[in-house]
């Protein structure tokens, strides 16, 4: 037990609002696997966050379990990591309410994701969409997380979580660990294949811009062959002037384990066509074992249920300790 407490704690999660993308894998999950030995890791499927946008209930349940299988198939060992479904740990909703009373209206108004999602869902600008950074803060602070692996677009939310934690600690003493954002250098931001100035996202209007972990190999190859490049023929890393090629190089670098210099040398004097095919092939081979193992895991319903029940029990044990402390501090009568 002492070994666990000496390790720093990491928490991260992904919404099951769509299938997991190549960006999710390279930018998040692949890095999570490498952190398992060094840190005390909590990885959650944040289904409560996903309902700020209307979801098909049957599809949401299906994607939640599929995402759990993909976490494990990607190398996240349920014995070494606490893997759980957010809605299975009621402390997330409970602490979220308390923290929303310590989050300022002006702070929430400045969140760029609220502005972006409001623009995309003009007919459903609900209170949850506005206050969900308080829920995200609860997700993190419940586990006394030291580090939160996030993409650059989520860094703002971690900064707000730090502000909320400091505000609460300033009033009630040392209650929460103040977390730091953990942004990996490689693969942190994988861009769309068709609009490389935008992040690869499951909400991409052009289906060819996004690659999914469970996608068929022929579909993956088709998307890479159609990937946007530029009018030159030189494979060179230059994100500002060559965003499409630079994005493909970032993907290939992680998938094939090569440096940008090695990639430039490999394709010196060769056209973009050869390069795009090679990137596509490396991604197909990287995702193949994950897809096949995910399919196998999903068929074992008893195992999937065992993983999420045990994960929720372990997460609840830690989360409820924090929640009891918070309730006592704010003046709630103990049960």
CATH number at residue 273: 1.10.240.10
Whether residues 26 and 109 fall in one domain: yes
Counted domains in the chain: 2
Q: Alpha carbon of 318 to those of 79, 219, 322: distances in Å?
A: 16, 42, 7
Residue 183 — φ and ψ, nearest 5°?
-115, 110
Whether residues 76 and 223 fall in one domain: no
CA dihedral over 35, 37, 38, 42, signed as positive or negative: positive
Whether residues 18 and 144 fall in one domain: yes
Residue 241 to residue 320: CA distance in whole angstroms: 50
Query: What secondary structure letter does DSSP report for 190?
Result: P
Per-residue confidence in pLDDT tens, the chain, 335 aa: 334 457 899 999 999 977 889 988 988 888 888 888 889 999 999 999 999 888 999 999 999 999 999 999 999 999 999 999 999 999 999 999 999 999 999 888 888 777 677 667 677 788 888 888 999 999 999 999 999 987 666 778 899 999 999 999 999 999 999 999 887 665 557 899 999 888 888 777 777 899 999 999 999 999 999 999 988 889 999 988 999 999 999 999 989 989 999 999 999 888 899 999 999 999 999 999 999 999 999 999 999 999 999 999 999 999 999 999 999 999 999 98
Whether residues 181 and 128 fall in one domain: yes
Token code pair at residue 328: 């006592």
* Conformational region of residue 144, where left means phi above 0, alpha means psi within -120 to 50, and beta covers everything else: left
Active site residues: 117, 199, 202
| Cβ pair 172, 141 in contact under 8 A | no
Helix ranges restricted to H, 14-126: 22-24, 30-35, 47-50, 57-73, 91-100, 105-109, 112-120
Whether residues 308 and 323 fall in one domain: yes
Q: Is residue 310 part of a domain?
A: yes
Q: Is residue 202 part of a domain?
A: no
* Biggest CA-to-CA distance, the chain: 73
Residue 112 to residue 46: CA distance in whole angstroms: 20
Whether residues 224 and 244 fall in one domain: yes
Token code pair at residue 148: 């939160």
Whether residues 62 and 100 fall in one domain: yes
CA dihedral over 331, 333, 334, 335, signed as positive or negative: negative
Whether residues 162 and 40 fall in one domain: yes
Measured at the CA of 71, the angle between CA 67 and CA 73, to 5 degrees, comes to: 110
Cα-only R_g, the chain = 21
Measured at the CA of 102, the angle between CA 96 and CA 105, to 5 degrees, comes to: 100
| Cβ pair 190, 247 in contact under 8 A | yes
Q: How many other CB atoms are there within 10 angstroms of residue 50's CB atom?
A: 20
Closest CA to 112 of 155, 56, 77: 155
Whether residues 94 and 138 fall in one domain: yes
Domain span at residue 104 reads 2-188+301-330
Whether residues 106 and 173 fall in one domain: yes
Residue 175 to residue 169: CA distance in whole angstroms: 6
Q: Is residue 201 part of a domain?
A: no
Whether residues 223 and 96 fall in one domain: no
Residue 32 — φ and ψ, nearest 5°?
-60, -45
């Amino acid at each position: 037990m002492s070994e666990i407490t000496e390790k720093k704690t990491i928490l991260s999660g992904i919404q099951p609002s769509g299938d997991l993308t190549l960006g999710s894998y390279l930018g998040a999950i692949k890095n999570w696997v490498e952190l398992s030995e060094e840190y005390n890791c909590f990885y959650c499927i944040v289904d409560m966050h996903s309902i700020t946008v209307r979801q098909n209930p049957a599809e949401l349940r299906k994607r939640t379990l599929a995402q759990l299988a993909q976490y494990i198939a990607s190398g996240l060992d349920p014995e070494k990591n606490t893997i759980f479904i957010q809605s299975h740990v009621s402390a997330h909703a409970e602490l979220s309410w308390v923290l929303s009373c310590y989050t300022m209206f002006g702070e929430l108004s400045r969140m760029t994701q609220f502005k972006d999602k409001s623009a995309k869902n003009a007919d459903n600008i609900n209170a949850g969409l506005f206050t969900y950074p308080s829920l995200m803060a609860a997700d993190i602070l419940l586990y006394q997380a030291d580090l939160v692996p996030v993409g650059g677009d989520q860094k703002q939310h971690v900064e707000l979580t730090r502000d909320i934690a400091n505000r609460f600690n300033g009033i009630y003493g040392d209650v929460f660990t103040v977390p730091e954002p953990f942004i990996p250098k490689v693969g942190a931001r994988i861009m769309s294949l068709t609009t490389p100035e935008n992040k690869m996202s499951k909400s991409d209007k052009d289906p060819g811009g996004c690659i999914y972990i469970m996608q068929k190999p022929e579909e993956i190859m088709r998307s890479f062959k159609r990937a946007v490049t530029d009018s030159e023929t030189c494979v060179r890393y230059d994100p500002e002037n060559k965003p499409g090629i630079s994005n493909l190089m970032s993907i290939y670098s992680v998938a094939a384990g090569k440096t940008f210099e090695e990639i430039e040398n490999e394709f010196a004097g060769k056209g973009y066509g050869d390069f795009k095919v090679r990137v596509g092939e490396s991604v197909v081979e990287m995702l193949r074992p994950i897809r096949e193992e995910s399919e196998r895991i999903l068929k074992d319903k008893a195992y999937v249920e065992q993983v999420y029940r045990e994960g929720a029990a372990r997460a609840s044990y830690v989360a409820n300790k924090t929640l009891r402390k918070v309730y006592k501090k704010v003046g709630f009568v103990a049960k």
